[in-house]
Structure 1
Amino acid sequence: MTDTDNLSRRRFLQATGGAASAVALAGCTGGNDDSSQDTTTTSGETTTAGEETTTEEAETPSDDANVLRLINSTMTTLDPIKATDTASGTVIQQVFDALMNYPNAEIEVKGQLAKGHKVSDDFKTYTFNLKQGAKFHNGKEVTAQDFVYSFERLAASDNSRRGYFILDSIGVKHETKTVKKDGKETEVYKPGSMAVTAVDDYTLKMELSEPFHAVPEMLAYTSFAALPKGILGDIEGYEGKMSHKKFATQNPIGAGAFKFDEWSTNTEAKVSKFENYHGSAADVDGIHWNIMSDPQAMYTYGTVNQNADMIHAGQFPTSQYNADKVNVKKTDKLGRKIGTYGKTTSGATMNYTGVATIGSYYIGFNAEAVPKPVRQAAAYALNQGQAVDKVFKGRGESSYHFTPPSIYPGGPDAYDKHAKENYPYGYNKTDLKQARKVMKEAGYGPDNKFSFEFTVYESSSTWPELGKLLRDKLASAYIDMSINTAPFSTLLKRGRKGNLEAYSLGWIMDYPAPDNFLQLLHPPKTDTSADNELSYFNWSGTEAAKKAKQAWKKIQNNPKPTDAAKKKRGEAYVAMEEANWEDVVLLPAYHDFSERFTYDWVDAPRFGAADYSRQMYNNVKIGQRK
């Protein structure tokens, strides 16, 4: 999990209260709770634009009738290749544009700065035709050369946290060189060798080493956003026109619908309408985010005092949430639940949208520290449906696979059918009789109990409650489970060293395909003694681990975006899920269900399964506030 070395495929974050938020920058999450949003980078180090301060009492915003007023949590950077948190990504989504985009966070990807693209017959060469006349905020026209530069930064800059996206996930053809690191020789990207070329000003060509089935989807990620060529000098061949610090905190220049105005650490961030935007010009004059970290303060500011126009689940803590106040009037074709919430403590009835987003939350077990019978007993004890209802107040969906329902092979119906018919530990039920049986067969009993520690991060309120629910059940199965809290960065550091026995984390999509999730269950990537682990399971040596490894190989051997390859990948996805069921290194808990609450004066397109942080706000309209 060394994201700073571009090896980890995860973005760790402190997830939000209520339904866990999906992210503009994806990967592993802390989970669904009432903590602040994503203030921790993958390396576990908190970084901000300036000196770290605490600002919990927000000032009342000016009542500018045509400025969208929102809440955000602590941001880390506005450099698209460095940002690893939802808070930063939410703003980056407004300021920067990429080749592709998920319109309104729906998962059908479409062109953004690309007006079209072609794929070669062997699926290895992608040629993108750019919109002509699209401008950066500094007035420069966006050209293919800007993308060559921006993609080189993604691959080669020391500021990049997502180099593996282009070099490994998409697999753009490139050369490597041998360097010594920590006394070991290792292969790294050779700067300037990547097969991304500008055919002319409006034609960009990208060549892959092997086919990859989700190229357009990956290119919608904000790390692939366009920057003006040469604006920064953090890669070979460019001196740069400003310092990285200035660009990342004071003057980010993109081609998005909004241009940057100001950012005061832990206080506020502002952007304004970009009049020369190449797409649909913004209906609002700007956006003002009040930056806060305490969920109760967010709730008071946005819901009680009505100072925010739109409120997301993480800004409406579960402790204040009343499921009985949700009135769902219809469910649309994308599965979004649409209705009202209220009345709130301020007497308002708010418009409500809820949607299952593409994310999974789980209890991870270190196989070297917690024996298989104990892990299986925990699976028998956990009633996922009860946990969602009792702990999360229904703000989630029961989870039996790591792959979320909407991208499971065959879709949600196939997900449910497979789980109901095959999940070996009881579908939405607790089976303590079987839990005791598997423990007795392993030699445990009243006088020989097994003890282990379940670690959650200290700002979480919901995961400890789920832990207590599980702990009390396991007590009758000869297991003493203690619950430990730790700072989020500490949890991650302990995990990387293999010093966790059990822990709570989650994963949110980088791109909407099962392999983006199931890579965490590829046994070699669970080895915490390695430099490029993706999870902390230390899963190896068992028959199930061998099956998972074979299934992953089948996935890797069928990467093409064809129906035949998709079918083979689908078979392998299911095989990996079942291998995990056998050994229970990852115990599924729940899937995301994200919510948005808006006042009557807000007209905002509904967001989709990629979640709110991938949504642009140029089509939001503000009426007369009450």
Structure 2
Amino acid sequence: MPDTNKLSRRRFLKATGGAATAAALAGCTGGGDGEETTTDDGTGGDDTTEQQTTAEDSGQELSGSVFNRILSGTITTMDPVSATDTSSGIVIQQVFDCLMSYPDGLPTVENELAADYTVSDDFTTYTFQLEDATYHDGSKVKASDFAYAWERLASSENSRRAYFILDSIGVKHETDSEDSYKPGTLSIEAPSETELVVTLDEPFHSTLEMLAYTSFAAVPEGIVGDVGDYDGEMEYTEFASKNPIGSGPFEFNFWEKGTAAAVTKYDDYYGEVAKVDNVRWQVIEDDTARYNYAMNENADYFGLPTAQYDPGKVQVESTDEFGREIGTYGPLRNGKTANYVGVPTLSIFYVGFNMNKVPKPVRQAFAYVLNQDQMVEEVFKGRGSPAYVFTPPTIYPGGAQAANDKIESDYPYGVAETNIQKAKEVMEEAGYGPDNKFEVQWTQYNSDTWEEMAKILRDQLASAHVNMKIQKADFSTLLERGRNGQLEAYTLGWIADWPAPDNFLQLLNPPQTDTSKQGPISYVNWTADNGDAYQKATDAYQEVVNNPAPTDDAQQTRNDAYVAIEEANWEDVAMLNIYNRKDETFWYDSVDIEPFGGMGPSRQKLNKVQLNR
């Protein structure tokens, strides 16, 4: 199968029966606390060694006020179409602007570079009027810049998000004899410098939400020569690492790989000019070192690893309409009391099963012994909510109450309980017993917290004729093994790319889980041979694909299909839902910052932050 990053919508839907995916998992994460990252769990760690990383490590001095933060994962690029890790995305969010944005990370889009827009009656043509904005090099933002930037997204060899524009949104385009994208054929027109016209192959209900993703950011036309006939104003490596030019509230200052990065306010920003002169991130991957760095007040805004977190120190003073808990935390190790926000982000953390290697009775035994409520409270210290459906409750059809009602009435494995006897029975019915135990390999990210959960499951399953062995791997190794079909049971998470159930449930579209094909979106290998509900899940996701329009009728059809996919997953246990994460951040009184929303802290622009020192 050709690279899905270059496939046309028509060919990929024909091949898989669902919306396309990328070789690099878009919302995939190993877990996290504080500033999220797709390469770090942020939990566990011990307090036996102290690894200091000081602000001077970068060798860079900044003039004026500095808002100091921490990144728990390494930045890889400053190119919006190449970035797939959250650490890069956090910095890119400040440098580049899109047509739309999520204000403070709330899951409702607003205009950004789009001053206004109209949509055709058939929901396939979007016409945008642009703001009077300039790039950091002083040049004007023009409609033709978007045509160039989105061509890079679709066809550049540096792009890792081509499926966003060709498949998720489905901008109309031509294909070659192999039904792959023909470069230069996107249906994007720039009738004037300030008007942009985009035509889709068919309606897509989350078009505006997707256009808030930084992969769709404006860049100066011809800035690099990786598409079309452009020679490029600079070498690609210079743009991607030393001199990225965007139109955001901050301009790039420096990035030293593995050490630190900083941005500086752009005085000619068309929107609200930043109130701080600089934002600086120190890259610290070790849990204890991050904690020590924050306790020494080298960071103004930070997360706390679960090993050092005490839920008894949280004082919630208010909960707003978005479910964000706002209050204080303390005392910290340094004696200070920090400000606190806890946000139920659009996320799901789960156990996935390679269904070709782990039979259904074993998967059901896992489901019977797992007590999600217990794990959240005792292992994750209440930093989330127990999950029994794959869709985050706030975007489940009908909302959180509908999700809770469905779970209470229909969840087949017991809510908030461990049923070892039932797990034992289902295994014995399948022929397993004390002298015939099933051996299963559990592979997880390097996290002491997740290992604690794994040990609880291992001990419970031992009484149900399942011998579970625990193995830890770094994030990239875990993903590589998954893509190659080498995992049996594994732990991962998914963070929203756009706030709709299909962004999550695409991971449960059986044809997209086949690890023998290029770029599977999950690694469960759900087939008719290993799942009784395979056809139900496949047909339901096809209903989602066939009804993409932002209309009430199409939405109702999708809602019914979403619920059917959840039911199919319950029946076959392709994925075992664990919890929806509550992102918690802490900051000292010297900082005045708005709480972030359900799309997570990586979507929050920092131009409204104020320092009081």
Q: TM-score, normalised by structure 2?
A: 0.93
- Aligned equivalents of 1:348, 1:432: Cα separation in 2: 45
- How far off is 1:64 after superposition? 7.1
Aligned position for 2:510: 523
Asked if structure 2 preserves the Cα contact closer than 8 Å seen for 1:96 and 1:255, the reply is yes
1:7 aligns to 2:22 (yes or no): yes
1:65 and 1:622 in contact (8 A); partners too:
no
**Cα distance between partner residues in 2 of 1:468 and 1:485:** 12
Q: Which residue of 1 aligns with 2:386?
A: 398
Letter aligned with residue 11 of structure 1: A
- The alignment-based identity, stated in percent, is 51
2:500 pairs with 1:513: yes
Paired AA for residue 23 in structure 2: S
1:59 aligns with 2:48: no
Q: Which amino acid aligns with 2:431?
A: G
Residue from 168, 176, 199 that aligns with 2:191: 199
- The offset of 1:111, in angstroms, is 0.6
- Using the TM superposition, give the Cα deviation of residue 386 of structure 1 relative to its aligned residue in structure 2, in angstroms: 0.8
- Give the aligned residue type for 1:553: Q
Once the two structures are superposed, the pairs formed by residues 221-232 of structure 1 within 5 Å of their partners are: 221-232=213-224
Distance (whole Å) between structure 2 residues aligned to residue 158 and residue 603 of structure 1:
41
The 10-residue stretch of structure 1 (3-12 or 602-611) with the greater mean CA deviation from structure 2: 3-12
Q: How do 1:456-495 residues align onto structure 2 when only pairs under 5 Å count?
A: 456-457=444-445, 459-495=446-482
Aligned pair 1:220/2:212, yes or no? yes
Aligned counterpart, 1:409? 397
For residues 365-424 of structure 1, give each alpha carbon's deviation from its aligned partner in whole angstroms, at most 9, with x where no partner exists: 011101100100100000001111111111111010110011111111111111111110
Cα deviations by residue, 1:242-276 (Å, 9 ceiling, x for unpaired):
01101111000000000111111222211111000
CA deviations over 1:287-336 (Å, ceiling 9, x no partner): 1112221121111011x201111113xxx111110010001111111100
Candidates 241, 256, 259, aligned match of 2:248: 256
Distance apart, 1:489 and its partner CA? 2.1
Native 8 Å contact 2:28 2:495 kept in 1: no
Match of 1:40 in 2: none
Does the CA-based 8 Å contact 2:5-2:162 persist in structure 1?
no
Change (3 A) 1:397 1:300: same
CA distance in 2, matches of 1:490, 1:112: 37
Find the aligned partners of 2:86 and 2:43 in 1 and give their Cα distance. Answer: 15
Tell me, what secondary structure is at the counterpart of 1:593?
Answer: strand
Contact between 1:11 and 1:29, CA under 8 Å: does it hold in 2? no
Amino acid paired to 1:359: S
Q: Give the TM-score, by structure 1 length.
A: 0.91
Map 1:171-190 → 2, pairs under 5 A: 171-178=170-177, 186-190=178-182
Instruction: Give the partner amino acid of 1:559.
Output: P
Q: Aligned equivalents of 1:322 and 1:339: distance in 2? A: 15
Match of 2:607 in 1: 618
Cα deviation 1:326-373 (Å, max 9, x = unaligned): 011111111000110000000000010001000101100011101100
Q: How does 1:41-80 map to 2 (within 5 A)?
A: 57-60=52-55, 66-72=65-71, 73-80=73-80
| Pairwise CA RMSD | 2.0
* Contact 2:371/2:418 (<8 A) preserved: yes
Distance 2:233 2:448 in 1: 46
Worse-superposed segment, 570-579 or 4-13? 4-13
Report matched runs for 1:320-469 at 5 Å: 320-457=308-445, 459-469=446-456
Hey, what does 1:564 align to over in structure 2?
A: 553
Aligned counterparts of 2:372 and 2:379: Cα–Cα separation in 1? 10
- Name which of 225, 230, 236 aligns with 1:244: 236
The SS at the match of 2:533 is helix
Q: Cα deviation per residue 1:429-487 (whole Å; 9 max; x = unaligned)?
A: 11111111111111111121111100113x32222111111111101101101111223
Per the TM alignment, residue 60 of structure 1 is displaced from its structure 2 partner at its CA by 4.0
Asked whether 1:599 is paired with 2:594, we answer no
Residue aligning to 2:140: 141
1:546-586 Cα shifts (integer Å, max 9, x gaps): 00011011111111101111111001000000000000010
Deviation at 1:67, TM superposition (A): 1.4
User: In the aligned structure 2, how far is the partner of 1:540 from the partner of 1:4?
Assistant: 24
2 CA distance for matches of 1:476 and 1:462? Answer: 23
What residue ranges of structure 2 are gaps of 5+ in the alignment?
A: 7-20
Judge which range, 5-14 or 411-420, deviates more: 5-14
SS for the counterpart of 1:454 is: strand
1:586 to 550, 572, 575: 575
- Number of residue pairs matched by the alignment: 588
Residue 187 of structure 1: how far off its partner (Å): 3.3
Measure the CA separation in 2 of the matches of 1:351 and 1:590: 25
| Counterparts in 2 of 1:414 and 1:205: CA distance versus 1, 3 Å | same
Unaligned runs of 5+ in 1: 36-54, 179-185
Distance of 2:312 and 2:339 partners within structure 1: 15
